[in-house]
Structure 1
């Protein structure tokens, strides 16, 4: 249905969420509900789905992502599909295929470079032909950095270097993060000389001065899905992504516990800061964002994207990075007060 229908009828389209009972999936359900979207909650575990607190009338469907018939039935009546079930190296392809068969947009929240790249390469043309939108990596990892870098670029048509520096004051990984880390053994990629190339071993390190509360931090290069997104639509000679080593040590420690709720929304107390620097010759532009809980902030990011796709009267179709499809400054501004920009 068109955006005009929703506006005229005062209706909200139904959004399906795969991986609904997972840690990030629950934040996405909460954000969809807050915005008034009817929901189809899909997952692999019936017990966990039943335990979810959801608005009356919400459909709960048990389906494994590799069961095409079950997923197809689950998507009946859905206007869009959000995939929150990692590892996305396993779940993305079958769920993109299901969305294409249903003729609806697909978005996921992967940090996995190989998954994002495969979605672009395998499904971009099919999405354009089917008249739907596909966006991989529309979360904290991937989408946020892509939007910040696009906003920092502004009217520049090319840049010499983009550096994304990400600081977390703690990193209590979810079970899904740990499983994905074990599954994702693909060689990490950077952009150098204007093309994707393997990251050097050992990974380069540097220091970066952040705003409060972080200050000066030791950083290690950890290319994630931001690199894939940015390389799709910006003309840049070098793209590098760094994460502070203090948080990486916590991630690597098998005894680090999962996140625990610290407020009424279920967010952890974790603080993040993403600082993006774009260089063109001797000119420098920067854009930064600070917020709470990398898993929780993914929800307004991906739901804002879905809302814009479903309500845009002149929506383009195909596979996109968020900064290529949306106006980056207005998109970021719409995330206030969850995201503080400067």
Structure 2
């Protein structure tokens, strides 16, 4: 036990991968919310020295190939947030350890196979324990799921749900590049009511986004929101599109990593995400805009974690964000947590 753990709380949040790019944003956001944090890394000595000295942070070391180290790291926490990719390698061990110690599990994966495996493997176990397992609670995954649920409103089914993601640039982290190399599975979409492999070559179209983005060429690139949305919303067609310029950025070896532009470490990157639901000729749209896709995952997943600290056991299991939280109210809470984030309803 470190000296920081002497002031332990009964409601602490563990962050696995606390030393990574997204993990650092998540730890900072939890502390901003006044929550006690257990910062977990493979090598705790490499964590920010400020964490080592904070009386709100306990620092612990653990690796995914040592289940005992994970159990010890998560002992006494209420929620575990996994920020360490590739999630195909980390989600299983980290989620398993979280459930063993009686903690809820969240991650920020964009990987469809990882999100699906987490739901299939741990949903029933979590439900029996009154715990929540929620993969893909990040920019890719959770945000699109909340927007799609908001666009659906009171509909019990839709003819089509489309998610459009416009980025002014995508400077990938080293972790994003490693994850892309690790995840070679064929991506899936919903067509004619069933999950099927995405069409190759992928569909392209011009998407008319709200101002200030307006018309942008997009390419079909399904992320983990396809898995989460299809787990609780019914649509004959479900597709996800990414602006072509962002896809070209992330595919280029010459694109540099994100560059911090302020004291928080955020980059200047801007995003706009829109969900469009259609049924019988009626179209509903909900969109949001914000800054830095990696940094934004922090208020998103931390808002979910904060709500799970007071979660009641009757609604355990594998949960999609839109199935568990009222989406517009949740998104409105993010506006309060992130000054760059805004809801745009059309």
Range class of TM-score, shorter chain: over 0.9
Aligned residue in 2 for 1:18: 16
Report SS of the residue matched to 1:172.
coil
Question: Which of residues 32, 35, 42 in structure 2 aligns to 1:34?
Answer: 32
TM-score, normalization: structure 2? 0.93
Residue 65 of structure 1: how far off its partner (Å)? 1.5
Moved more, 162-171 or 45-54: 45-54
2:98 maps to 99
2:335 counterpart SS class: coil
The whole-number CA distance in structure 2 between the counterparts of 1:101 and 1:12 is 17
1:184-333 equivalence runs, <5 A: 184-313=183-312, 316-333=315-332
For 1:161-197, what per-residue CA distance to the aligned partner results, in whole angstroms no more than 9, with x for missing partners?
Answer: 0010000001111011000000000110000111110
Deviation at 1:12, TM superposition (A): 7.0
Deviation at 1:313, TM superposition (A): 4.4
For residues 10-159 of structure 1, the aligned pairs below 5 Å read 13-51=11-49, 53=51, 55-159=54-158
When structure 1 is superposed on structure 2, of 255-264 and 299-308 the one drifting more is 255-264
The answer to whether the 8 A contact 2:130-2:313 is kept is: no
- 1:263: how far off? 2.0
2 CA distance for matches of 1:181 and 1:285? 33
Structure 1 residue 326: deviation in Å?
Answer: 0.9
TM-score (structure 1 length as normaliser): 0.94
**1-structure distance, mates of 2:306, 2:48:** 26
Q: Gaps spanning 5+ residues in structure 2: where?
A: 1-8
Unaligned 5+ segments in structure 1 are 1-10
CA-CA distance at 1:53 after TM superposition: 4.0
**Cα deviation, residue 38, structure 1:** 0.6
Alignment deviations for residues 252-311 of structure 1 (CA, whole Å, 9 cap, x no partner): 111111111112321100000001110001000000000000011101111110111112
Q: Secondary structure at the match of 2:184?
A: coil
Alignment: residue pair count: 332
Using the alignment, how far apart are the partners of 1:130 and 1:256 within structure 2? 45
Structure 1 outlier segments of 4+, above 4 Å:
none
Determine the C-alpha separation between the residues in 1 that align with 2:311 and 2:131: 12
In the alignment, the residues of structure 2 paired with residue 313 and residue 203 of structure 1 have an alpha-carbon distance, to the nearest angstrom, of: 42
Q: Partner of 1:340 in structure 2?
A: 342
Q: What SS is found at the alignment partner of 1:332?
A: helix
Q: Is the CA contact (8 Å cut-off) linking 1:92 and 1:115 kept in structure 2?
A: yes
**Preserved CA contact (<8 Å) 2:31 2:56:** no
